[in-house]
Amino acid sequence: MDDLKEKYLGQIAEATDENALEAVRLAAVGKKGEVALKMRELGKMTPEERQVAGPALNALKDEINSALAAKKAALGDAALDERLRSEWLDVTLPTRPRGQGSIHPISQASEELTAIFAEMGFSVAEGPRVDTDWYNFDALNIPGHHPARAEMDTFYMHRAEGDDRPPHVLRTHTSPVQIRSMEKMGAPLRIICPGGVYRADYDQTHTPMFHQVEGLALDENISMANLKWVLEEFVKSFFEVESVDLRFRASHFPFTEPSAEVDIRCSWDNGQLKIGEGDDWMEILGSGMVHPKVIAAGGIDPEKYQGFAFGIGIDRLAMLKYGIPDLRAFFDSDLRWLRHYGFSCLDVPTLHGGLSR
C-alpha cells in the first residue's frame, strides 16, 4: 500500500491538466482501479487480515481522493489566473460618446404617457396594424359613406379579383384595439392603446404613418366629469406643470356621443410654448362618451355600461413638449437630429423620479 500511495500521489502531483488528472483518478480509485481491485481481495482474507487491511485501504482511498480534489482546485486556479492575464480589460478607460445610442423622442413620449396612465389604473392593450374594415370602421359606428373610408384617406390592402373576404386596411387609428379588448375582457375596462397608425397625408404636421394613443374606460357610473379629471391629470403630469386649463368644445365623432375637442390654455413667449398659462388656446385631442353602438359592437350591454374614450397624437405631444418644429424629421433617420433630441437609454420615465430628466 505504501508503494500505491507513493505511486499515485506522485502522478497526481505531476498532472498538468484536468484530462491527465482524470486518467490518474480512474487508474487509482475508479471501478477498475488498483485500489478498487485491492478492496475486492478483502473477501479472500481471514477476519484478522481484514481488520488490518480494510482500514488501511480506506485511508489510502481517502488520501488519494483528497489529493485529487486539491490538485483539481489548483489546476482551476491556474487556468483562471492565465485567463485573467490574457483576457484583461481596463475598465477605467473612457467610453466613446458617439457609440452610445439614443432613445427616440416618440419612444420616450410613449413611455412617459404609459407611466402616467398606469398610475391611474390603465393597462396597455395592443392589436394588429392590419385589420379588417369591420374593426376599423363598422364596429366604430363609421358609416359606409364616411369620407374617412375613401381610398384618398385610407390605405386598403390589395385583394385579388373575386376575393370575397372582408377588405383589410392599414388601421387609421388604434380604436380597433378598443373593440378587440371589449370582446376579450368585457367590462369594467380601463385601457390605453398606443401604436402606429396610417393615413394618406403628408406635410409639416402630418405623415402617412404616425403614432397615437387612445384611452377607454367602461363601468356602470362613468361620466364626462371622470373624463375631464383623467385628461387634466394626464396633461399636468406629461407637461410637468402645476395646473392646467382645459376647454371642451362640442364636436362630432361617429364613435362618441357627446363628443368634444379639447383645447389647452397656453402662451407663446419668444417662440417658446408655455402650457397652463396665457391667453391662447391649442387643440390637443378629441374625446367623448362612447357611443352605445360601439359598446354593443364590443359585446357589452350598453344599457348597463357606459364609458369615455379619447385619442391623442403621440408625435404631436412629443413635438409640443420637446420643441420639435417639423413632424417629418421624426422619420428622416438623421443621426445628428437624434443625438440632439434623443434621450439616454437609462432615462427611464417614472412619476416619482421625473418623466424627462
* Residue range 255-288, pLDDT digits in tens: 999 999 999 988 887 777 888 788 889 898 999 9
State the CB neighbour count (10 A cutoff) for residue 357.
Answer: 10
Mean pLDDT, residues 156-172 taken together: 82
pLDDT at 94 over 80: no
> Which pTM was predicted?
0.65
What's the pLDDT score for residue 63?
A: 84
* Residue range 222-243, pLDDT digits in tens: 999 999 999 999 999 998 888 8
